[in-house]
A and B are shown apart, each in its own frame.
Chain A
Amino acid sequence: MQVGLKVWRFNSRSGERELQEFEISAPEEATLLDCLDIVKDKHDGTLAYRKSCRMMICGSCGMRMDGAAVLACKVRMYEIAEAGHVPVISAMGNLPIVKDLVVDMQPFWEKFKSVNPYLQPGYDEPPDGKEYRVKQERMNVIHKEALCINCGCCVSECNAMESDPDFLGPQALAKGMRFVGDPRDGAKLARLEKLNGEHGIWECTRCYFCNERCPKGVDPRDAIAKLGAESVMEGIDRDMGAKHAKWFVTSAKTTGWLRETELVPKTQGVVTAIKQTKFALGLAMKGKVPPPFPPHVAKNVQESRRLYDLVHEQGIAGYAGIVQGEHALAKLSHGNVQGESLEQIYDRPGSFSRPYLQDEEIPSGSEGGMGALNQADTTPGEEPTKMYGDNQPGEGAAK
C-alpha cells in the first residue's frame, strides 16, 4: 500500500523546524513505526525517533499522530492509508524536543524517581519463615497501574502540566498508586503525604486526556482519584483540593445540593477567602453567589444522609470504592463508539482531521489555527520548547 506521512522535523541546534512529506510503499500490515523505519532506510536516513521492542512493551516510541500521543508500534496504517488521509507525525508534548520525534525524557524520569518507584520494606513477615503470600483480590487493586510502560503518552497531553510544568503528572501519580495500593509496601502513609504535596494529586485538572491516550489501559486519572480517596480516608486532607472534595460530601448529605457560597471559605480558609471578597462581590451582583440561607434542600434528603451512614458502616472505603467499579468499566473500550469508518470521520463537515494540541498545521479555511501557532508546545509564561535547543542534549542522545 501507499502511505503518506507528514513529519515535523526539528533541529534543536539551529532551531529550524520543517514539515516534511513522505510517500512510501509499505506492506498492508505495517504499523506507523514500520513506516518510519522505511522512511529512514529508503528515503531519509537523518530522521530521528526512538524505538526498541516493536511490540508495545518497551514504551520507547511515544509520539504524536494528528496531535494525539500514540505508541508508533501500536498504530496500524492500513485504514488510514485507505481513507487517503496523510497524518501529521510530531514529537510528544510537555517535554523538550531534542531532534525530530525524540524528546528529552529527563523531566519525566525525575518525576518518576521522586515517587520512589520500588517497594519499601515494612510488612509483617509471616511466622516460621514461610513465604509471604498475597491474595489475588489484594493485587487487583493495582492491576491497572501495574500495566504502565513509562511511555509518556499520558504526560504528552496533560493539560495541568502544560500550565504548570512542575505538576507530578499522570504517569508519576499512577506509579505512586501502584505502590500505595501494594500490600507488600511498608510506606503507604509516607507516600500519601508526599503525593499530597503542592504539585501532587490535587493539581490534577481532570481533563481525562491521560485516560484517553494511555495505550495500555492504565487510566491514570482513575489512579489519581484512588489516591485522593485513600488520602481522605486516612485523614490526609490538609490540601485545598481535599477540602474542596470533602465539602461536596458534606453538601450532599446535609442539603443534597452543593452549598456553593460556602465552598470558597471551606476550601481556601476564611482569611484567603476574604481576600477574594472583591472578586466575589462582582459575581454576587450577577446572582452568581446564591445566598446560603435559606438553603436549597433536595426533597427526601434524609435518604442521602442515611446512605452516607450505610456506606460508612459497610466499609468499602478509600480506593476500594473505585476498584469495585473497574470490573464493569473494563468491558468498555475507547475510541469511536458509533462505529464510523475513518473515512467518514475525516470527511465529516465541521470536523478537522488535524492536530489540536500543537502547531503542526494551520487549519484550512479558518484563521483559528493561528492561536495555536503561538500556543505551540509552550507553557504560559515560558519560552516555547523549541527554544530549549542549546541547553539540551544534542543529536547524540537521539537514536
Chain B
Amino acid sequence: MTATATETKRVAYYKGCLASLSAKELDSATQALAPKVGLELVELESVTCCGAGDIHEAEPDYYLHLNARILAYAAAEGVDTLLTVCNVCTLNLRQANFILIGDSEVRARINENLVSVGVPAYERDIDVRHLLWEIAEGEGYEKLKTAAHRGLKGLKIAPFYGCQILRPSKINGFEDPDRPWSLERIIEACGGTPIDYPAKIKCCGFPIIQAREETALGELIQPIEQAMEAGADCIVTPCPLCHLSLDAWQSKLKAATGKDYGMPILHLSQLVGVAAGLEESELKFKRHVVSVKPVIEKLQI
C-alpha cells in the first residue's frame, strides 16, 4: 500500500462544465482511469466555469479573476498540478496562469480582490496540465502501458486533437502544434492503430455552432469525412467540446449531405479506459448520440 501511495501523483482535478453536466461519461471514465495511470484526483468543490473563451471575449477582466480563483483553490490543496480534461479549460487556465505568473502587478491586484471576497490568494505557482500530457510521457505513460493490458487490437483509431490543446503553442507548448504525436503514442501503447488524416489538427466548429451553424458544420464535416475515408473505426478526442460537436452534431451532417456517417466518437479517457478494462458503468457509452456498438463488437468485449 505504501509503495502505491508514493508512486501516485496527487493532482487537483478540474473537470469543467461539460464533464459535470452533459458529458458526465467523461468524468466517470476519468475518475475510474486515474488510479490505473498513477493519478490521485483531488476534486475541487468551490470552482466555477473557466469562461470557455466566451468570458474572455465578453468580460476579460472577470475571466482573469474566475481563473485566478480556480488556480488559487487548486494551489490551496497543496498540489503542483491542476489536471484538466478539456482543451478549452486547458487554454483558458494556462493563459490566465501565465498572465498571473508573468506580471506581479496584475497578480497583486487580483489577489487583493480574491482575498476581499474570501478566496485564498494565488501565491504558490502551479502548473495546468491536460490528462493527455500526463499519460503521453514519463511516469504516466509507463503506467498506461501496463494498465492497457486489454488492448485495442485491430482497432483503427483516428486521433482528433482539436485546436486549443495545440495552439497557441506559446501557451500550450507540449508538442509541435503541426506534427503532434501524443494521441498516436497513446493509441499505439493501447495496441490500436492510429489513422492519419489532415483535419486532425483543425477546428471542429464548436465555438460557433450556435451562432454560425453553417460555418461550423463546414468545419465539422472535415474530420468525420476524412476519418471515414481513411477507414477509421472511431475518432478519439481529448476535448469534450470537440466530442459534443463530433458526436451530437453528426446527425446534422446527415441532414445536409444525405450521408449517414455513424462515426463513433470516444473521449480520451474512454478509449484508454476500454484498453484498461473499465466497465460500461464507468465508460457510459450509452450516453453517446452515435452508437459505439461497432467498436465494442470489433473488440469482442
Q: Are B178 and A356 in contact (CB under 8 A)?
A: yes
The answer to whether the Cβ of B108 comes within 8 Å of any Cβ in the partner chain is no
Stretch at the interface among B31-39, B209-217, B270-278: B209-217
Most interface-central of A159, A263, A308, A327 (chain B CB within 10 A): A159
Q: Are A252 and B51 in contact (CB under 8 A)?
A: yes
Partner of B287, one of A286, A320, A367: A286
Neighbouring A residues of B167 by C-beta, 8 Å:
207-209, 211-212
The answer to whether the Cβ of A162 comes within 8 Å of any Cβ in the partner chain is yes
Partner of B61, one of A211, A321, A338, A351: A321
CA distance A177 to B294 in the complex (A): 49
CA distance A249 to B52 in the complex (A): 10
Decide: A164 near B214, CB < 8 A? Known: A337-B169, A368-B195. yes
Report, as a range, how many residues of chain A touch the other chain.
Answer: 35 or more
Contact flags A158-177 to B (C-beta < 8 A → 1, else 0): 01101110010000000000
The answer to whether the Cβ of A53 comes within 8 Å of any Cβ in the partner chain is no
Q: Are A252 and B287 in contact (CB under 8 A)?
A: no
Contact flags B80-109 to A (C-beta < 8 A → 1, else 0): 000000000001000100111111001001
The answer to whether the Cβ of A248 comes within 8 Å of any Cβ in the partner chain is yes
CA distance A300 to B55 in the complex (A): 20
Contact flags B159-173 to A (C-beta < 8 A → 1, else 0): 000011001111101
The answer to whether the Cβ of B142 comes within 8 Å of any Cβ in the partner chain is no
Q: Are A229 and B103 in contact (CB under 8 A)?
A: no
The count of chain B contact residues (Cβ–Cβ below 8 Å) is 102
Neighbouring A residues of B288 by C-beta, 8 Å:
286
The answer to whether the Cβ of A375 comes within 8 Å of any Cβ in the partner chain is yes
Q: Are A207 and B202 in contact (CB under 8 A)?
A: yes
CB distance from A240 to the nearest CB of B (A): 4
**Chain B residue with minimal CB distance to A268?**
B210
Most interface-central of A212, A303, A335, A337 (chain B CB within 10 A): A303
Q: Are A286 and B289 in contact (CB under 8 A)?
A: yes
Decide: A202 near B212, CB < 8 A? Known: A257-B20, A356-B198. yes
The answer to whether the Cβ of A366 comes within 8 Å of any Cβ in the partner chain is yes
Q: Are A290 and B59 in contact (CB under 8 A)?
A: no
CB distance from B145 to the nearest CB of A (A): 15
The answer to whether the Cβ of B141 comes within 8 Å of any Cβ in the partner chain is no
10 A/B residue pairs, CB under 8 Å, sorted by A: A205-B207, A205-B215, A208-B164, A221-B168, A240-B212, A245-B58, A257-B20, A349-B181, A371-B227, A375-B198
Given contacts A229-B60, A349-B181, 9 further A-B contacts (CB under 8 A): A164-B215, A205-B216, A257-B21, A304-B48, A314-B61, A333-B170, A336-B169, A356-B202, A368-B197
By a beta-carbon cutoff of 8 Å, the part of chain B in contact with chain A is 17-18, 20-22, 24, 45-49, 51-66, 69, 91, 95, 98-103, 106, 109, 113-114, 116-119, 158, 163-164, 167-171, 173-181, 184-185, 188, 194-203, 205, 207-208, 210-212, 214-219, 221-222, 225-227, 229-231, 244, 248, 251-252, 286-289
By a beta-carbon cutoff of 8 Å, the part of chain A in contact with chain B is 66-68, 159-160, 162-164, 167, 202-209, 211-212, 219, 221, 224-225, 228-229, 232, 239-242, 244-249, 251-252, 256-258, 260, 263-264, 267-268, 279, 282-283, 286-290, 296, 298-304, 306-308, 310-311, 314, 316-317, 319-322, 324-325, 327-329, 331-338, 340, 345, 348-353, 355-358, 363, 366-372, 375, 379-381
